[in-house]
Amino acid sequence: MAAPDALHEPTGALGLLDGALASAASEPRPLGLLLVEITSFDRVSAAFGPAFASALARTVGERLQQAARPTDKIARVTGAKFAVVVDPARNQAVLVLAAQRFRQALDGPIPVGDANVNAVPRIGIALAGGATEANRWLQHAEAALLAAALDDAPYAVYTPALAARAADSLALELDLEAAVKRNELEVFFQPKVSAATLEPCGAEALLRWTTPARGRVSPEVFVPLADKLGLIEPLTAFVLNTALRQSAEWPARAGPLAVSVNVTPRVVEGGELPGLVANALGMWDARPEHLYVEITEGAIMHNPQTSFAVLRELREQGVHVSIDDFGTGYSSLAYFKNIPADELKIDKSFVMRMLEDEGDRKIVRAVIELAKSFGLKVTAEGVEGAETALALAELRCDALQGYYFSPPLPHSQFVAWLEGYRVPERARRLHLSAKAAG
């Protein structure tokens, strides 16, 4: 168990661990360490003051003590972080069960004064293993706690590989925060071409991040990370402003080209998107009908009521709304008929296989027909060959996007691509032959 001072004063954790290790050395037995932390403690302290936070920590410690076995020992590390020595701990499964028991002890609101606080715990787990020093053992549990936080998991068990991954993830977070402050991320552009004429009709703005140590970091890695770190709103504003400013510099071919910008569910649900868009349009004196805002089907259905309201407001500004990755989400037709949108983008997973897989071809045809029946335009992503481009044109797709025409390019290279663009010869011949045969 624990002496009152060990529970209430953040001074006794290392002494507790030293004593447990010494005891296990004289009477050999396996030991485990749980590092239990209340995730909201810093926010509670900032909102209600240190006295309130201290009372919360005291109550948390008492609840942990009530859930402990007679042989377990508890000490406060700092704030609302507690070290629990599980003695004995035959294996990892025993420690996981202990973690679950302590989480249950903190389940539900905790009364503090006249308020109730939801004290959600996160736990790092470490067997003593070969650790002979309290500091090293505590470091292992801290590494597991960090891994749990990075994965947004209730607990994690220390392994050397997990510690390395957690350290790398934390370093990536710090690198991203620094890169955003230093304005080191870039906007690339991937062209869209008309399926009917094969001439450029727009481009999608895509955020890219390259670091000296890591090289190119995938957007699938850093965009969710930016979302988690609260960086996604300033990054969205950055992409909007960059796309609108640079699109004004594009050489005119058959008229002004539209530019598309992706947004995440958090930006939509936060309600700030219409304001971000209006500010960017005003700053660069841009025409709203030349801007498409892309959001995935799944993101819309995450909170349809809020998403629909925000998308309607964008359309009232004159901005177009595009539903990205259509066909991979889970919206019903009942929802679909009410989605305030102007365009559907067919996911590349269907487009890339449509010539070989009849099922994918039927899906592509069905999506195009569905969109047309609701008056929506259709862009197909993942076009990698002339034959696919022709097949999509024959199905009345409106626009094509994919590596057959161009990968995403930095702005200067995209401008050069526009200036030097020629319809790919094979695609031109196939389209001419199809027109002659028709």
Tokens of 423: 């319809």
Q: How far apart are CA 380 and CA 390, in angstroms?
A: 12
Domain with CATH 3.30.70.270 in the chain: 4-158
Would you say the pTM of this structure is higher than 0.85?
no
Pairing of strands 320-326, 291-296: parallel
* Cβ atoms within 10 Å, residue 194: 16
Identify the top-confidence range among 39-48, 175-184, 323-332. 175-184
* Cβ atoms within 10 Å, residue 418: 19
CA distances from 334 to 181, 301, 305, 337, 437 (A): 43, 12, 13, 6, 40
CA distances from 358 to 200, 352, 355 (A): 29, 12, 7
pLDDT in tens, 76-112: 888 888 999 898 888 889 999 999 999 999 988 888 8
HSE (CB half, 13 Å, CA atoms) of 388?
26
Q: Which residues does residue 118 pair with via DSSP β-bridges, in sequence order?
A: 109
Asked if residue 127 lies in contact with residue 32, where contact means CB atoms within 8 angstroms, the answer is yes
pLDDT in tens, 30-84: 888 999 999 888 878 877 888 888 899 999 999 999 999 998 989 888 888 899 9
Domain with CATH 3.20.20.450 in the chain: 178-437
Backbone phi and psi for residue 287, each to the nearest 5 degrees, phi listed first: -80, 125
Instruction: Identify which has the larger pLDDT, 196 or 114.
Output: 196
Q: Tell me the CATH class for 178-437.
A: alpha beta
Question: Can you give the pLDDT at residue 41?
Answer: 87
CATH of domain 4-158: 3.30.70.270
Question: Can you give the pLDDT at residue 3?
Answer: 45
CA distances from 40 to 48, 71, 81, 167 (A): 12, 29, 11, 22
Pairing of strands 399-400, 377-380: parallel
pLDDT in tens, 335-364: 778 889 999 999 998 999 999 999 999 999
Residue 321 identity (one-letter amino acid): V
Question: Can you give the pLDDT at residue 1?
Answer: 47
HSE (CB half, 13 Å, CA atoms) of 99?
29
Instruction: Identify which has the larger pLDDT, 301 or 155.
Output: 155
